[in-house]
Chains A and B, each alone.
Chain A
Amino acid sequence: MTIAKIERLDRLIEASVTARDAESGSLWRQSLRRMRRSPMAICGAVIVGLFFIVALLGPWIAPYGPTEQTWGGEVFLNQNIFPGPRAENWFGLDHLGRDMFSRMVVGARQTMLVGVVATLIGFAAGAVVGGFAAAAGTFGGRWGERLEAVIMRAVDVALSIPMLLLALSVAALLGPSLTTVMIAVGVAQIPIFARMLRGSMLAQAHSDYVLAAISMGVPKARIVVSHILPNSLGPVIVQATLVLATAIIEAAALSYLGLGNPDPGTPEWGTMLADAQRFLSGAPQLAIYPAVGIIITALGFTLLGEAMRESLDPRLRRQQ
């Protein structure tokens, strides 16, 4: 072989090695790289990102205070006359003469807080309940199976209660406040997360790599924590993003029923929606802004979650 040929071979080998290195890296780094290429993930991330920016910086973005009123002979409650969108008030004024745009921007924070905290509560508690049940059922022997049956039947009962009713009962117990809404909505999500994680873990428990791990004498607790759990979290993460959307809607419902934050000084999309109901026939725009806000936010979380699941799924990884 001539020197030139050998050099070319060397270059080829080098190129293929660097190409392979680009493919390696940790699981999360890899999935991040894949997500950057997916339009779904980009859309979701942009929506969620904007939502978080608005939620965090709301009071500084808003042109007016959320409780500032402009009467000025423009708002006529009894005649359903409210100024629509215009240069000074982008989204118009509401029934009390407050700037809708400012209220939307400031209200995003409450909405985010309720959604995120409620989902975290549901996720954490649900994961503990479902994970424990699955672990007991798979590795706990006869008593473990019984324990699992008891836990899961209790979860079934909780699941059969309409979610809003469950949240409502919790909220009624604790009295109206923002914390109440978070806890109530979070508690209502626990059964969903518990069921999902358990189902997903049971499916993994019968896989070959678990049998292989058992055959190497790996302790049960370790198999559950480091083999079954990481493989089961994918669908639960997607569920979490969907639940975030539901949580926002439920929080709105609770606010509407008077169990939300009683302070009228802090706007919240759900409360705004409820307020607008009275004027739906004459001034539907008052309801449309918060409703569209909720829908777009929910869509953003769903898109992001779906893209996340796809990029994390090792079975889909090679197809790109």
Chain B
Amino acid sequence: MALLEVEDLRIAFGSSTVVDGVSFHVDESQVVSLVGESGCGKSVTSLAIMGLLPKLRKSGRGGGAAVSGRAVFDGVDLFGLSADQMRRRRGADLAMVFQDPLSSLNPVVPIGRQITEVLERHRGLRGEAARKEAENLLDRVGIPDPRRRLGEYPHQLSGGMRQRVLIAIAVACAPRLLIADEPTTALDVTIQAQILELLKDLVDAEGTALLMITHDLGVVAGMCNVVNVLYSGRVVESSSASRLFAEPTHPYTVGLLGSIPRLDLPIHEPLKPIRGSIADVIRWGDGCAFAPRCDLVGAECVAGEPMLKGEAHAHRCVKAEEIA
């Protein structure tokens, strides 16, 4: 059985629906990614799973999110839990690594205390025991001289080290699912590779499942088992990573792959960008939302809702045969 099963997730802020029926699942010790450009709903999806979106009030004011659907984690629907039950799971069963390591750490609290805080909360460790464990964690994420680092403040660490600290906090209680929301976006390229390596090692060693939110297909190729490509709030293609890269079937995926610079292409060959930008021109109910930007667009593309077809390698395109 899947560890996390997201079914028909819908998220709306006021009248605009940002996630429109997303389903995917994450198995034990599997690395699954949600890929898409800015605004496709990938970060909101992860925040919804963690229960971190602002709640909708009965009055309808205040800009809360209306979330429907199910997110079944280990047999329990996370959306059905009370705030208190959810709080007990966060950090212990599911944990999250955020995008910007500087603003995600409290600037006036030494990192040691930010780590022991979680250990106290979920593992009941106190005093010297918590300190020792925090030291171990820092050591595990590859921070040299951990004992001294515990007393330092976030501004004294480099960007890569801060992200390592965040990862240490996230894995402190051996969560079964780790959600990483663009964990390498704020870092430079050499550090990105180290952080990905670290995440991969931790996931392999503990058998943790990892849900990776990213817009970087290079990251996906490097570490993910399963890829879900999101466009305008829906999954447009879902398959194992190797098959997705070998034979992409949705024009959007093809476009994403085509816009990556490649070492084996001639030097002056221009990149092929996808035309336009993401916009709510067409609702999914009327046709394919990607149609306005698609090179292969035809009349059948906007004649009704395109369905997700296929089992192992699913796609949402009526012209899939033409691409293959």
Q: Which residues of A contact B (CB under 8 A)?
A: 23-24, 26-27, 142, 207-209, 211-219, 222, 226-227, 230-231, 314-315, 317-318
List of A residues within 8 angstroms of B41 by Cβ: none
* A215-B52 in contact given A27-B153, A208-B103, A318-B155 (Cβ < 8 Å): yes
0/1 interface trace, chain B 188-203, chain A, CB 8 Å (1 if under): 0000000000000000
Interface string of B145-186 (1 = CB under 8 A from A): 000100111011000000000100110100000000000000
For residue B105, which residue of chain A has the nearest CB? Answer: A209
Chain A CB within 10 Å, residue with most, of B151, B156, B170: B156
B104 an interface residue at 8 Å Cβ cutoff?
yes
Q: Across the interface, name the chain A residue whose C-beta is closest to B148.
A: A24
- The reply to whether A217 and B152 contact each other, CB–CB distance below 8 Å, is no
CB distance from A33 to the nearest CB of B (A): 14
The docked-state distance in angstroms from the alpha carbon of A216 to that of B96 is 7
Q: Which chain B residues lie closer than 8 Å to A219 at the CB level?
A: 87, 121
Contact yes or no, A217 B90, CB < 8 A: yes
Chain B residues with CB under 8 Å of A26's CB are 151
Taking a contact as CB atoms under 8 Å apart, the answer to whether A217 and B88 are in contact is: yes
Q: State A317–B118 Cα separation when bound (angstroms).
A: 27
Q: Are B90 and A227 closer than 8 Å at their CB atoms?
A: no
B98 CB within 8 Å of chain A: yes
A-contact 0/1 string along B57-97, CB 8 Å cutoff: 10000000000000000000000000000011111100110
Per the bound structure, the CA–CA distance linking A222 and B50 in Å amounts to 19
Interface pairs (19), CB distance under 8 Å: A24-B148, A24-B151, A24-B152, A208-B100, A209-B103, A209-B104, A215-B90, A216-B90, A216-B117, A216-B118, A217-B87, A217-B122, A218-B91, A219-B121, A226-B117, A227-B109, A231-B108, A314-B108, A315-B107
Q: Give chain B interface residues in 101-139, CB to chain A under 8 Å.
A: 103-109, 113, 117-118, 121-122
Q: Which residues of A contact B118 (CB under 8 A)?
A: 216-218
Chain A nearest CB from B145 CB (Å) reads 10
Q: Are B153 and A216 in contact (CB-based, < 8 A)?
A: no
- Point out residues on B near A: beta carbons under 8 Å: 50, 52, 57, 87-92, 95-96, 98, 100, 103-109, 113, 117-118, 121-122, 148, 151-153, 155-156, 166, 169-170, 172
| Residues of chain B lying within 8 A (CB to CB) of residue A215 | 50, 52, 90-91, 95-96, 98
Chain A residues lying within 8 Å of B155, measured Cβ to Cβ, are 314, 317-318
* B106 to chain A: closest residue by CB: A209
A24 CB to closest chain B CB (Å) equals 6
Knowing A314-B153, A318-B155 are in contact, say whether A211-B98 is a contact too (CB < 8 A).
yes
| Inter-subunit contact A230/B108 (CB<8 Å) | yes
B104 touches A27 (CB 8 A): no
User: Chain B residues near A212 (CB, 8 Å)?
Assistant: 96, 98, 104-105, 166, 169
A216 touches B91 (CB 8 A): yes
Q: Which residues of A contact B148 (CB under 8 A)?
A: 24
Tell me, rounded to whole Å, the shortest Cβ–Cβ distance linking A58 to chain B: 38
Cα A215 to Cα B43 with chains together (Å): 14
Residues of A within 8 A of B96 (CB): 212, 215-216
Of A23, A207, A218, A231, which is in contact with the most chain B CB atoms at under 10 Å from its CB? Answer: A218
Q: From residue A151, how far is it (CB to closest CB) to chain B in Å? A: 19
Residue of B nearest to A315 (CB): B107
Q: Report which of A208, A214, A217, A230 forms a contact with B92, defined as CB distance below 8 A.
A: A217
Q: Which residues in A have their C-beta under 8 angstroms from that of B166?
A: 212
**Chain A residues closer than 8 Å to B106, beta-carbon distance:** 209, 213, 227, 230-231
Listed residue (A23, A211, A213) with the most chain B CB atoms within 10 angstroms of its CB: A213
Residues in A neighbouring B91, C-beta threshold 8 A? 215-218
Q: Which residues of B lie under 8 Å from residue A226 when comparing CB positions?
A: 109, 113, 117
> Which residues from A are CB-within-8-Å of B108?
27, 230-231, 314
Name the distance in Å between A225's Cβ and chain B's nearest Cβ: 11
Known: A208-B98, A226-B117, A230-B109. Is A214-B153 also a contact (CB below 8 A)? no
B104 with A217: CB separation less than 8 A? no
Which B residue's beta carbon lies closest to that of A227?
Answer: B106
The smallest C-beta distance from B73 to any residue of chain A, in angstroms, reads: 14
* Bound: A213/B52 CA distance, A: 11
Inside 8 A of B109's CB, which chain A residues have their CB?
Answer: 226-227, 230
In the complex, residue of chain A having the shortest beta-carbon distance to the beta carbon of B154: A314
- Measured between beta carbons, the chain A residues less than 8 angstroms from B50 are 215
* Chain A: minimal CB distance from B98 (Å): 6
CA gap between A185 and B57 in the complex, in Å = 41
By the criterion CB–CB under 8 Å, are A222 and B151 in contact? no
In the bound assembly, the distance between CA atoms of A10 and B100 in angstroms comes to: 35
Q: Distance (Å) between the CB of B97 and the closest chain A CB? A: 9
User: With a CB–CB cut-off of 8 A, which chain A residues contact B89?
Assistant: 217
Residues of B within 8 A of A318 (CB): 155
**Residues of chain B with a CB closer than 8 A to A23's CB:** 156
Residue from A216, A222, A317 in contact with B169 in the complex, judged by beta carbons closer than 8 Å: A216
The closest CB in chain B to the CB of A212 belongs to: B104
For residue B170, which residues in chain A have a CB less than 8 angstroms away from its CB?
216
Distance of A96 from chain B, by nearest CB (Å)? 53
Q: Are B121 and A217 in contact (CB under 8 A)?
A: yes
A20 to chain B: closest residue by CB = B156
